[in-house]
């Protein structure tokens, strides 16, 4: 397969600079152009080879789009482009204050179902976590610009904690709703 598109990195695919901030309007415009050109539905009556190529191309474009759209995935990908391999063995240890904060948060999450107004509690924690996420992303941008890899990696791991907690809050909402319905 010699198609150049498959060899380009996710930023090149959408002709945007490799950076923490991305012009998502431009990306999503080009994304839809690609879909119009290469979606498998456009090749429903073409040869097997072309259909396969079309699936491969759209998959690649979809993956690229999803990565740029999600700030956490995007941040991870930026480090990957710099050749940083984030596997558990090389992972740096988390700072103590952050771990304490997370443990407290876990306790609060566990207490939710027994609260008088669990949904209000969920909303409040969610807001708190989203603020934290925003701040961590700003920190990441600074470390990335300064090419400080270990601290950048640590921030990504923190962001993963935050994301996991947000997902858990959604799950709890769902369980609570099921009980009411």
Three-state secondary structure call for residue 132: helix
Cα(119)–Cα(113) distance, rounded to whole angstroms? 9
Cα(150)–Cα(170) distance, rounded to whole angstroms? 31
Figure out which of the listed residues 10, 11, 65, 140 binds another protein, where binding follows CB under 8 A. 65
Residues 117-156 that bind another protein (CB under 8 A): none
Residues 31-60 that bind another protein (CB under 8 A): 32-50, 53-60
Q: Determine if 66 is a binding residue for another protein (CB under 8 A).
A: yes
Cα(172)–Cα(174) distance, rounded to whole angstroms? 5
Cα(72)–Cα(142) distance, rounded to whole angstroms? 15
* Nearest alpha carbon to residue 133 among 105, 109, 156, 110: 156
> Cβ of residue 52: shortest distance to another protein, in angstroms?
10
> Cβ of residue 23: shortest distance to another protein, in angstroms?
10
Figure out which of the listed residues 16, 30, 109, 137 binds another protein, where binding follows CB under 8 A. 30
> Cβ of residue 138: shortest distance to another protein, in angstroms?
25
Residues that bind another protein (CB under 8 A): 1-5, 15, 26, 28-30, 32-50, 53-60, 62-63, 65-66, 177, 181
């Amino acid at each position: 397969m010699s198609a150049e598109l498959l060899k380009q990195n996710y930023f090149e695919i959408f002709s945007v600079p490799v950076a923490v901030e991305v012009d998502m309007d431009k990306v999503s415009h080009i994304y839809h152009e690609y879909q119009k050109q290469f979606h498998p539905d456009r090749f429903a009556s073409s040869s097997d080879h072309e259909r396969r190529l079309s699936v491969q191309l759209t998959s690649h474009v979809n993956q690229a789009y999803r990565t740029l759209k999600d700030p956490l995935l995007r941040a991870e990908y930026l480090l990957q482009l710099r050749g940083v391999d984030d596997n558990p063995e090389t992972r740096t240890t988390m700072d103590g204050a952050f771990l304490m904060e997370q443990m407290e948060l876990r306790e609060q999450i566990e207490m939710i179902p027994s609260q008088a107004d669990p949904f209000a509690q969920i909303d409040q924690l969610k807001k708190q976590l989203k603020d934290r996420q925003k701040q961590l992303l700003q920190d990441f941008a600074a470390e990335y610009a300064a090419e400080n890899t270990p601290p950048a990696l640590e921030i990504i791991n923190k962001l993963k904690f935050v994301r996991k907690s947000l997902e858990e809050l959604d799950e709890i909402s769902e369980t609570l709703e099921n009980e009411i319905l």
